[in-house]
């Protein structure tokens, strides 16, 4: 076990083929293979280039507002009476979620490649907003693909993207959610590959995306680790983050992976309950397969057709998950659990009322699980939850569920 948890072991993935054990890879149409190879070569050079790294760090400091605080949720921790819960406040980033860490990085890559047009897929709209934001800042043309159902339930973010100058394209094929938005973004990329950079919003997709998105998001875990040591003089006992595609979770988890004493929990969307089949929890209830350029756990039927998912949160409503999570599940380093719609909504209200922090519905899944986890732990133990995004975008959804007309 000691050897298995060495930093070198975790640094060994992905391998040069983009594999995390059996997961990951590059399962795309031939037309995109060269674009991926070019991106991989550029990223290999830039990731060790001090000038690129200092530009990235500077943008994160002055544009995003990093480092984000680590806040002790004292009132809720006291009431639970178990472990102390600390929140890594990604909701305080510019644009209100962790997504911008990645779009800043990928926009720098697009600039280096001389691409004038960027595209993005989005579920809850947070990645779309973060992409539209960096595109506005760099003067790039931006097209965001969004499932028609998500356009309805995330109308505030749709208007934000339009204000930022992006074109939002509602996707009406398939289940009309994030998965279909990603299909459409891939179709656009195949068509305009010469002048277009595809800003993928999560740690999925073909290699090198799962690697580079992880690297850009790992600033979350690096800061949290340092903040825990500075503030508490020790590492936390557990980390908790919600998992849709898994970018905020991998960002928090990755720098802690070699720290054997730190337990990790990825919380998937249980929807109406994993036992009902109406959920978005492929790691909890799926099987391995190939979708959107990588091999990973998927929600699929016995014929390999991708199943419709359900979650109250648009950002978690995805039938796949990043390949590194699939690998971390198999090797047992991270526990993947779920919280259902009702638990997430209860947590949304509770944290808003008791801590004055309104979490995104995605994040509320992590909080719901963290409450249960904390109750089973002792007051001298610490949990860090990635508060991955703010909930303003979800106000209309929550009001509708509560039967309130605004």
Partner 1 sequence: MTRLSTCFDALRADNRKAVIPYIVAGDPSREGTVTLMHRLVDAGADIVELGVPFSDPMSEGPVIQKGHERALANGISLRDVLAMVTEFREHNTDTPVVVMGYANPVERMGYASFADACAQAGVDGLITVDLPPEEVKPLNAELTRVSIDNIFLISPTTPEARIKTIVESASGFIYYVAVKGVTGAGHLDTAEVFSYMSKIKAETALPVCVGFGIKDAASASSIASVADGAVVGSALIDIMAQAMADGDTEQTAADHAIALLADIRQGVDHVSRGN
Q: Please pick, from the candidates 290, 331, 396, 401, the single residue that binds partner 1 as defined by CB under 8 A.
A: 290
Residue given tokens 């980033």 in the structure block:
93
Looking at 20-28, 63-71, 245-253, 340-348, which segment touches partner 1 (CB under 8 A)? 20-28
**Minimum gap (Å) between residue 177 Cβ and partner 1:** 12
Rule CB under 8 A: choose which of 10, 14, 35, 96 binds partner 1.
Answer: 35
Q: Is 9 one of the binding residues for partner 1 (CB under 8 A)?
A: no
SS (H, E, C) the chain: CCCCCCHHHHHCCCCCCCEECCEEEEECCHHHHHHHHHHHHHHHHHCCCHHHHHHHHHHHHHHHCCCCCEEECHHHHHHHCCCEEEEEEHHHCHHHECHHHHHHHHHHHHHHHCCCEEEEEECCCHHHHHHHHHHHHHCCEEEEEEEHHHHHHCHHHHHHHHHCCCEEEEECCCCCCHHHHHHHHHHHHHHCCCCEEECCCCCCCCCCHHHHHHHHHCHHHHHHHHHHHHHHCCCCCEEEEECCCCHHHHHHHHHHCCCCCCEEEEEEEEECCHHHCCCECHHHHCEEEEECEEEEEECECCCCCECCCCCCCHHHCCCCCCHHHHHHHHCCCCEEEEEEHHHHHHHHHHHHHHHCCCECHHHHHHHHHHHHHHHCCCCCCEEEEEECEECHHHHHHHHHHCCCCC
Q: Taking CB under 8 A as the rule, does residue 31 contact partner 1? A: yes
Catalytic residue among 99, 115, 179, 329: 99
Catalytic, 6? Answer no
Stretch that binds partner 1, among 25-33, 67-75, 111-119, 139-147 (CB under 8 A): 25-33
Is the CB of 295 or the CB of 393 nearer to partner 1?
A: 295
Q: Which of 121, 223, 324, 355 is catalytic?
A: 121
- Please say which residue, 300 or 397, places its beta carbon nearer to partner 1: 300
Binding to partner 1 in span 103-142, by CB under 8 A: none
Q: With contacts defined by CB under 8 A, name the span among 55-63, 159-167, 176-184, 234-242 that binds partner 1.
A: 176-184
Q: Which of 3, 8, 230, 302 binds partner 1 (CB under 8 A)?
A: 302
Q: Which stretch binds partner 1 (CB under 8 A): 173-181, 209-217, 235-243, 324-332?
A: 173-181
Is residue 99 annotated as a catalytic residue, yes or no?
yes
Q: Is 29 in the site for partner 1 (CB under 8 A)?
A: yes
Residue 300 as a binder of partner 1 (CB under 8 A): the answer is: yes
| Residue placing its CB nearer to partner 1 in the complex, 129 or 185 | 185
Residue 370: closest CA among 105, 121, 84: 84
Q: Choose the catalytic residue: 313, 343, 388, 393.
A: 388
Q: Which of 4, 6, 11, 33 binds partner 1 (CB under 8 A)?
A: 33
Task: Establish if 310 lies at the interface with partner 1 (CB under 8 A).
Answer: no
- Least distance (Å) from partner 1 to the CB of residue 318? 12
CB 294 within 8 A of CB 265: no
For the bound state, the minimum distance from the C-beta of residue 176 to partner 1, rounded and expressed in Å, comes to: 12
Integer angstrom CA distances of residue 196 from 62, 192, 378? 27, 6, 51
| 17 makes contact with partner 1 (CB under 8 A) | yes
Provide the minimum distance between the beta carbon of 131 and partner 1 in the complex, in angstroms, as a whole number. 20
User: Looking at the annotation, which residues are catalytic?
Assistant: 99, 121, 388
Q: Which chain residues interact with partner 1 by CB under 8 A?
A: 17, 25-35, 173-174, 179-180, 183, 186-187, 190-194, 287-293, 295, 298, 300, 302-306
């Amino acid at each position: 076990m000691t050897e298995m948890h060495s930093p070198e072991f975790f640094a060994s993935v992905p391998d040069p083929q983009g594999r995390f054990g059996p997961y990951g890879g590059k399962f795309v149409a031939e037309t995109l293979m060269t674009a991926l190879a070019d991106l991989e070569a550029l990223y290999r050079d830039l990731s060790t280039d001090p000038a690129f790294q200092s530009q990235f760090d500077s943008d994160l400091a002055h544009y995003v507002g990093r480092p984000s605080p680590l806040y002790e949720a004292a009132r809720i921790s006291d009431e639970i009476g178990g472990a102390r819960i600390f929140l890594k406040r990604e909701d305080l980033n510019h644009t209100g979620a962790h997504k911008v860490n990645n779009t800043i990085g990928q926009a720098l890559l697009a600039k280096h490649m001389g691409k004038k047009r960027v595209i993005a897929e989005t579920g809850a709209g947070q990645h779309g907003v973060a992409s539209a934001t960096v595109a506005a800042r760099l003067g790039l043309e931006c097209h965001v693909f969004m499932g028609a159902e998500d356009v309805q339930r995330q109308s505030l973010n749709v208007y934000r993207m339009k204000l930022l100058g992006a074109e939002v394209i509602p996707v009406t094929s398939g289940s009309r959610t994030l998965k279909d938005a990603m299909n459409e973004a891939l179709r656009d990329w195949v068509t305009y590959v010469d002048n277009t950079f595809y800003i993928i919003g999560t740690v999925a997709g073909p290699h090198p995306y799962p690697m580079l998105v992880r690297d850009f998001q790992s600033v979350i875990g690096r800061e949290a680790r340092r903040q825990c040591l500075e503030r508490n003089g020790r590492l936390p006992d557990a980390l908790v983050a919600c998992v849709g595609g898994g970018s905020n979770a991998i960002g928090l988890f990755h720098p802690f992976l070699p720290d054997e004493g730190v337990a990790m929990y990825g919380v998937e969307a249980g929807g109406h309950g994993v036992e009902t089949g109406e959920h978005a929890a492929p790691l909890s209830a799926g099987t391995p397969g190939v979708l959107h350029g990588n091999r990973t756990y998927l929600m699929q039927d016995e014929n390999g057709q991708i199943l419709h998912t359900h979650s109250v949160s648009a950002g978690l409503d995805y039938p796949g998950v990043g390949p590194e999570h699939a690998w971390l599940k198999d090797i047992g380093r991270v526990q993947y659990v779920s919280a259902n719609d009702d638990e997430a909504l209860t947590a949304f209200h509770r944290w808003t009322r008791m801590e004055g922090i309104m979490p995104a519905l995605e994040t509320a899944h992590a909080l719901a699980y963290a409450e249960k986890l904390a109750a089973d732990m002792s007051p001298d133990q610490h949990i860090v939850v990635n508060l991955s995004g703010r909930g303003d975008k979800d106000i209309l959804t929550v009001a509708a569920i509560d039967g309130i007309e605004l």
